[in-house]
Amino acid sequence: MRLRVQGVLPASQPSALRDGTKMRRITANVYMTLDGRGAFPKYPGSDRETKTANALFRHMWIARYGDVTTVVMGRRSFLGHRRVWSSKARKPSDPKFTHDYSRYLDNVDKVCLSHRLKSPGWENSRILQGDLSKIVAKLQREDGGNIMIEGGPRLVQEVLRRRLADDYWFFIMPVVYGKGPRYWGSMTEQNTLKLLEVKHGEDGELLLHYAAVR
């Protein structure tokens, strides 16, 4: 099924402002289990080794290499990505698409949010801290393409609570997990989104693409 909602820009385009200038569009990725936990559990097919990227990975990442020029992460997710996804972590025998993804992440402007981390230890990275709304506004004023907020759950929950993203990708894994960081514990008010698109993964995952309603 593919739905298009009139008046909502595709994720790959910057938002146009009334004065004709372009605003960097912000997408937040929300990886969660059916019970709203931000974890990556194993389930049938989840650790299958493939030579090529699956359709959901192509959609969420490969299709966006050209337009997303800044990736924002909380400290824990940043360190996790650095450990698992920087080119230094790649083995020659890894599939080509993982080398491509690692190269993309090495090269992209990365923002790690942290009070504790003193040095990012990953090229093209900077550490920012403070009020999240101000940080996002500062990034939007900078030159560049679109901005991806790539977890973790605490950061994404704050983005949702403050309504900072233009659109959201919910990557939902077919597991009721009962552990891992909660996404929804501290939501205090309704946040209504507009469904743009639904995609099915090979192993029961769902990718739900929503636009913010402003």
Please state whether beta strands 167-173 and 125-128 pair in parallel, antiparallel, or not at all (unpaired): unpaired
Q: Which is nearer to ligand NAP, 187 or 213 (CB)?
A: 187
Please state whether beta strands 167-173 and 206-212 pair in parallel, antiparallel, or not at all (unpaired): antiparallel
Candidates 4-12, 60-68, 75-83, 88-96: pick the segment binding ligand NAP (CB under 6 A).
75-83
Footprint of ligand NAP on 19-58 (CB under 6 A) = 29, 31, 38-39
Is residue 121 near ligand NAP by the rule CB under 6 A? no
- Sign of the Cα pseudo-torsion (33, 177, 40, 161, in order): positive
Is residue 181 near ligand NAP by the rule CB under 6 A? yes
**Among positions 25, 59, 64, 75, the unique one binding ligand NAP when judged by CB under 6 A:** 75
Nearest to 61 by CA among 121, 1, 102: 102
**Helices and strands in the chain: count of H runs, count of E runs:** 5, 10
Dihedral angle at the C-alpha atoms of 11, 14, 20, 23, nearest 10 degrees?
120
Q: Which is nearer to ligand NAP, 25 or 81 (CB)?
A: 81
Give exposure, 59-77, as e/b (b: 16+ Cβ within 10 Å). bbbeebeebbbbbbbbbbb
**Among positions 69, 77, 98, 146, the unique one binding ligand NAP when judged by CB under 6 A:** 77
Is residue 115 near ligand NAP by the rule CB under 6 A? yes
**Among positions 113, 159, 165, 211, the unique one binding ligand NAP when judged by CB under 6 A:** 113
Is residue 118 near ligand NAP by the rule CB under 6 A? no
Q: Check: CB of residue 141 under 8 Å from CB of residue 101.
A: no
Q: Which residues bind ligand NAP (CB under 6 A)?
A: 29, 31, 38-39, 73-77, 80, 113-117, 129-130, 132, 150-155, 181
